[in-house]
Amino acid sequence: MQESIYFVTRRTTPAIVGGVAASFLVVLLGMAPLLLSASMLDRLTTLFVYIMLATGWNALAGFAGLVSIGQQLFFGLSAYATIRLSDAGMPVFLAMLASIAVVGAFAVPVSWLMLRLREGEFAIGMWILAELAHFIVNLDGVVQGETGTSLIALATFSAEVRQALIYWTGLASVLTLLGIFLFLIRGKIGLAIQAIRDNEEAAQSLGVETLNAKRTVFLFAAVCAATAGVLWLATAITFQPKTFFGVQWTAYMIFMVLVGGIATFEGTILGALIFFLVELVFGPFGVWYLIGLGASAILFSLVFPRGVWGSVESRLGLDLAAVRYRIRMSKEGGRNGKPS
């Protein structure tokens, strides 16, 4: 019987080890509120926000080739929606969830408009949309212009309960989003968007539904930014339009993804972790810290375009998330040198 000596697989030892280690880590993170101090919990929630921001941007730019400088649109809008809904009397955690849904639904018509644009026009078009949203939100009396307002409804919880609840919400959200991200890039959409990124016309001519694939990723990225915005509001409590609609959020996303490794799953998390540590150590330097962020964005985009994880992956062939297919030789075929 003629049987191929080669087979295609995603299951590699590092991927299995990675999966097991990740499960342990998740269990450990789930128990964190029982073990860690309040300030550590807040820091971890911040890390979750960074991972979400990096995930959305990496899906959009790294996999779909859509560079946006306006993801703060969804970040700010969902925070604003939470304020608005909570002000209208909705229970605060329900308002947080509803805001993500509202912003996700809002991203659908936005995608109709913006996905017509290409490359640089899309990038800055998104930025302008975010600016427009910022000034329209300023018109709402509840926000009190640039002065801002607070999510007072959270004050009904005691500090400890509040921190633990927000932490668990953050953990659950980041796991859900990473899960969807992995599902997207491992599945048909992942193939389609990477084909589009590499050559849109060629992909189209092969029958890839380019607009659908792009829209899916665009919506995913919007939901990532929206979830991050809601959680940031929950930890920061105060809502100032200028901060939430600031372009610095996108600068952070770009830094995390470029440094961690564009178009890699592991690089997204690694980039967020690096950014988190960099901010912890260099944040107090203020302006010089920002200069460093900008300079590393230039350095990585020009000199190390694959980022830290990209280099690791290409050197060691490591794939902890089982995203890539590999060709393996079957055992007998390998030993005998001929098909069994």
Partner 1 sequence: MVWVNQVAQGVLLGGYYAMVACGLSFMFGVMRVINLAHGSLAVSSAFCLWVIADVYGVSPFLGLFLVVPLLAFVGVVLQRAIIERSMRAGVLVPILSTFGLSIVFDNLLFETFGADTRSLAPFIGDLPYEAWPVYGDIYVGKLAVVTFGCSIVIIGSISVFLSRTQWGRAIRATAQDPDTVAMTGVNPRAMAALAAAIATATAAVAGAFLAIRATFDPYSGAPQLVFAFEAAVIGGVGSLWGTLAGGVLLGVAQSIGAQVNSQGFMIAGHATFLLVLLLRGYLMERYLRFRFEFLTGKR
Q: Does 65 bind partner 1 (CB under 8 A)?
A: yes
Q: Does 18 bind partner 1 (CB under 8 A)?
A: no
Q: Does residue 201 sit in helix, strand or coil?
A: helix
Q: Which amino acid is at 234?
A: A
Q: Does 256 bind partner 1 (CB under 8 A)?
A: no
Residue of the chain from 16, 25, 94, 113 that contacts partner 1 (CB under 8 A) = 113
Q: Does 297 bind partner 1 (CB under 8 A)?
A: yes
DSSP string, 66-80: ---S-THHHHHHHHH
Q: How far is the CB of 331 from partner 1 (least distance, A)?
A: 41
- Report the residue number, 47 or 143, with the smaller CB distance to partner 1: 143
Site string for partner 1, 186-225 (x = CB under 8 A): ----------------------------------------
In the numeric block, the tokens 């890839």 are attached to: 208
- Are residues 129 and 68 in contact, defined by beta-carbon separation less than 8 angstroms? no
For residue 259 the two structure tokens come to 């440094």
Radius of gyration over every alpha carbon of the chain, rounded to an integer in angstroms: 21
Q: How far is the CB of 147 from partner 1 (least distance, A)?
A: 14
Site for partner 1 in 115-144 (CB under 8 A): 116-117, 119-121, 123-125, 127-129, 131-132, 135-136, 138-139
Element (H, E) at 327: strand 326-329
Q: Does 312 bind partner 1 (CB under 8 A)?
A: no
* CA–CA distances in Å: residue 209 to residues 62, 66, 189, 336: 19, 16, 9, 44
Residue of the chain from 59, 96, 228, 254 that contacts partner 1 (CB under 8 A) = 254
DSSP string, 156-176: GS-HHHHHHHHHHHHHHHHHH
d(CA 237, CA 97): 16
Beta bridge partners of 329: 6
For residue 225 the two structure tokens come to 């930014």
- Are residues 140 and 77 in contact, defined by beta-carbon separation less than 8 angstroms? no
Residue of the chain from 29, 69, 213, 272 that contacts partner 1 (CB under 8 A) = 69
d(CA 56, CA 221): 4
Binding span for partner 1 by CB under 8 A among 17-25, 63-71, 72-80, 320-328: 63-71
Q: Does 83 bind partner 1 (CB under 8 A)?
A: no
Q: Does 75 bind partner 1 (CB under 8 A)?
A: no
Q: Does 108 bind partner 1 (CB under 8 A)?
A: no
* Cβ atoms within 10 Å, residue 113: 10
d(CA 115, CA 139): 28
Q: Does 274 bind partner 1 (CB under 8 A)?
A: no
Q: How far is the CB of 154 from partner 1 (least distance, A)?
A: 28
Total chain residues near partner 1 (CB under 8 A): 39
d(CA 246, CA 260): 23
Q: How far is the CB of 12 from partner 1 (least distance, A)?
A: 29
Site for partner 1 in 30-59 (CB under 8 A): none
* Residue whose C-alpha is closest to residue 130's, from 150, 106, 112: 106
Residue of the chain from 9, 291, 325, 329 that contacts partner 1 (CB under 8 A) = 291
**Which residues here bind partner 1, judged by CB under 8 A?**
61, 65, 67, 69, 113, 116-117, 119-121, 123-125, 127-129, 131-132, 135-136, 138-139, 247, 251, 254, 258, 287-288, 290-291, 293-298, 301-302, 305
